[in-house]
Structure 1
Amino acid sequence: MRNLLTAIVVIPLAGILILLAVANRTPVTLSLDPFTPDVSAYSIQLPLFLVILLAIMLGVIVGGIADWVRQGRYRREARHGRSEVRRLEKEAAELRRTSGNADNLPAPYMRGNGR
């Protein structure tokens, strides 16, 4: 099922990218100097499709980094929660071990058992 969904997305996307590259082969000048764009010292000639694809890739990378930074608080809370669970599991195991009447204590929570 996953391979079918991948094919449904990847094949049309690859076709669109190929059509974009074939239709936009004309070289354009990308100037990095806004004050004197005619001087070729800070400019480069690239095919238009490459400029478009590089801009899209840069946008995806910058967006991914911004999203990763914004979610840092949630990753930190998850790490704290996992360490708290480990600490409490150790404490419960120690109480069960040192208790003389372990039959009255509740069963330990086991991850992945459906609860």
Structure 2
Amino acid sequence: MRDDGAFGDNAIMKKWLFRIIWIPVLIVAVLFLVANRTLVPISLDPIRPENPALSTPALPLWFWLMGMLFIGVALGAAGQWLSTREARAQARDNRRELKALRKELAALTAKREREAPHGKETQEDPPKLEAMSV
């Protein structure tokens, strides 16, 4: 028998909560999209709505709704990516610095081993770098 403890119970609860909330939302969204199949032109002229100077071709309403959803998701993802550019630059600088420090440590360790008398152990071990997640 598998004993996941508190973490397993929490994961199961999250999975069921996700299903309870999102499955009905998705069903309603699909029903809404299927029910609204009439052709709709989008008018971009607020002054003359009956004879717009600028309008789109008549396409199903679900097409316009899904298009706006995809555009919103893309704009949100682009905004999120742009907002993290400073953190990505800092991480890039940290990786470069870590690489240079590792190279310097390897050179110093090699130099120390060359200068140490053969057959004798050095008094202390060189410091070890542990991998850092950046």
The Cα of 1:48 is off from its aligned counterpart by 1.2
Corresponding residue number in structure 2 for 1:88: 101
- Structure of larger gyration radius: 2
Answer whether contact 1:33 1:43 (CA < 8 A) is retained. no
Task: Give ranges in structure 2 of 5+ residues lacking alignment.
Answer: 1-10, 117-121
Q: How does 1:52-71 map to 2 (within 5 A)?
A: 52-71=65-84
More helix by share: 1
* Aligned match for 2:30, one of 18, 30, 33: 18
Which deviates the most, 26-35 or 83-92?
26-35
Answer whether contact 2:44 2:52 (CA < 8 A) is retained. no
Corresponding residue number in structure 1 for 2:125: 105
SS of 1:104 mapped into structure 2: coil
The Cα of 1:14 is off from its aligned counterpart by 5.7
SS of 1:42 mapped into structure 2: coil
More strand by share: 1
Partner Cα distance (1:34, 1:103) in 2: 84
Between the two proteins, the alignment pairs up a number of residues equal to 111
Letter in 2 for 1:33: D
SS of 2:58 mapped into structure 1: strand
Corresponding residue number in structure 1 for 2:7: none
Identity %: 30
What is the CA RMSD across the aligned residues, in angstroms? 3.1
Task: Give the alignment's TM-score, normalised by structure 1.
Answer: 0.73
Letter in 2 for 1:106: P
**Cα distance change, pair 50–87 in 1 and its aligned pair in 2 (3 A):** same
Partner Cα distance (1:55, 1:41) in 2: 18
Corresponding residue number in structure 1 for 2:59: 46
Task: Give ranges in structure 1 of 5+ residues lacking alignment.
Answer: none
